[in-house]
Chain A
């Protein structure tokens, strides 16, 4: 999006009222501000070749940067700062200088990609896909859609009501509400970047499994009586918001928007977390955590969940802690259980959901999901 494009948009809206564009003059076309109009789409289409060029250039720059991180970090640590390899401070600084840019770069790329993918899955479309699905199939679909649909816990209530309103079963709706925060792209990238694809895949698969199973179980329990009465009363028919139509350029804009939004918000946590990780990497002896959070301590999994549930942190904040724990000998299952209970179940979200759900239902919801997390924790400690 060049400067000329911006001037055109501003120029186009200067005082000229809605003139439905038919001519070639872009400035009159943009004056019609129903962003889904044919004129806007034509304008966006004109941007496409330029955008593709920019994207290609960006990707090339990204790859270049990614490739220089490792030699760059080593050079800065050992040459520029003169810290010898093998010392504590040297290994901590090298770790930080390598991990921080690597994770931030990965994060930017993935968040951009996810932003584009998510522009295809608006909550409105997800609801349309889910409505009329039977329970078991619905639970699986809801969990999968929870990963790609944009969701913020402050929207939990409108989303819940909107789903229930079109007749999506309670259990299916809850599957979505479990998977949306728990299986999170930021967590996925950080796990992939710091621990490799196996841990990332494990997190993705078990997160989805918990969402599917706990939603299914909650659906079987017939908990509708614990949904606040007015929810079912308030169902009405009427026109709903259709959502906007986006062209290629609009989707790229969404990608850029989400990078600015997510990376702009989480980078301090990522850096702080990696700094903690770096300190541990350099200074804390191996195996320190093994006694408290190792495999042989069976009670460590429930303890991790009990501590994790009331805690609230975004994925970016918790992963570095995970890294620190794993690095020093804590068992993978225990750490995974801790992380999942922190990001999937949070006090603020429960408070928001209280507006539509009775406390009994919220307690059952937390109980079932926490039980699922426990099972995953024990399973991995036993198998790995």
Chain B
């Protein structure tokens, strides 16, 4: 499983990264959370607002900080 957080380093992006890491820990998954901070890389995902959560290359949430619980639900499918 590949998890990426897209964002240029604002407070919300950091929070989302932390929440994703917590969700992974709680699920007992051993996957790193990749931070994508380069604007050009971010734009490859064709999103309009940050932060965004990408799971296995698919954008799953945009412009909001999901709670660890919401991320757990996303990851479980």
Partners in one complex: yes
Whether B8 pairs with A352 at a CB distance below 8 angstroms is: yes
Residue on B with the closest CB to A237?
Answer: B46
Residue of A17, A127, A151, A234 near B43 (CB, 8 A) is A234
- Taking the closest CB of chain A, its distance from the CB of B7, in whole angstroms, is 7
Whether A158 pairs with B77 at a CB distance below 8 angstroms is: no
The distance in angstroms between the C-alpha atoms of A32 and B73, with both chains bound, is 9
The distance in angstroms between the C-alpha atoms of A158 and B8, with both chains bound, is 10
Residue of B39, B43, B45, B64 near A241 (CB, 8 A) is B45
Whether B40 pairs with A123 at a CB distance below 8 angstroms is: no
Main SS class of interface, A:
loop
Taking A154-B10, A355-B39, A356-B39 as contacts, is the C-beta distance between A33 and B77 under 8 angstroms?
yes
User: Is B47 at the interface (CB under 8 A from chain A)?
Assistant: yes
Whether A230 pairs with B46 at a CB distance below 8 angstroms is: no
Best-buried of A127, A155, A159, A234 by chain B (most CB within 10 Å): A155
Taking A13-B73, A34-B77, A355-B39 as contacts, is the C-beta distance between A150 and B63 under 8 angstroms?
yes
Residue of B39, B73, B76 near A157 (CB, 8 A) is B39
Whether B49 pairs with A155 at a CB distance below 8 angstroms is: yes
- Taking the closest CB of chain B, its distance from the CB of A62, in whole angstroms, is 25
Whether A13 pairs with B49 at a CB distance below 8 angstroms is: no
- In the complex, per-residue mask of B56-77: 1 if CB is within 8 Å of any chain A CB, else 0: 0001011110000100111011
User: Is B5 at the interface (CB under 8 A from chain A)?
Assistant: no
User: Is A53 at the interface (CB under 8 A from chain B)?
Assistant: no
Which A residues touch B59, using CB under 8 A? 241
- Taking the closest CB of chain B, its distance from the CB of A202, in whole angstroms, is 30
Residue on A with the closest CB to B42?
Answer: A158
Residue on B with the closest CB to A162?
Answer: B48
Whether B50 pairs with A155 at a CB distance below 8 angstroms is: yes
User: Is B12 at the interface (CB under 8 A from chain A)?
Assistant: yes
- In the complex, per-residue mask of A157-173: 1 if CB is within 8 Å of any chain B CB, else 0: 11101100000000000
User: Is A18 at the interface (CB under 8 A from chain B)?
Assistant: yes
Q: List 25 contacting pairs A-B, 8 Å CB cutoff, sorted by A.
A: A10-B69, A13-B72, A13-B73, A13-B76, A17-B76, A18-B77, A32-B77, A33-B73, A33-B76, A33-B77, A124-B48, A151-B49, A152-B10, A154-B7, A154-B13, A157-B39, A158-B47, A158-B48, A159-B49, A161-B39, A162-B43, A240-B46, A240-B47, A241-B62, A257-B64
With A152-B10, A158-B43, A230-B40 given, name 6 new contacts (CB 8 A).
Answer: A17-B76, A18-B77, A33-B76, A152-B49, A234-B40, A241-B47
Chain A residues packing against B (C-beta within 8 Å):
9-10, 13, 17-18, 31-34, 122-124, 127, 150-152, 154-155, 157-159, 161-162, 230, 234, 238-241, 243-244, 257, 352, 355-356
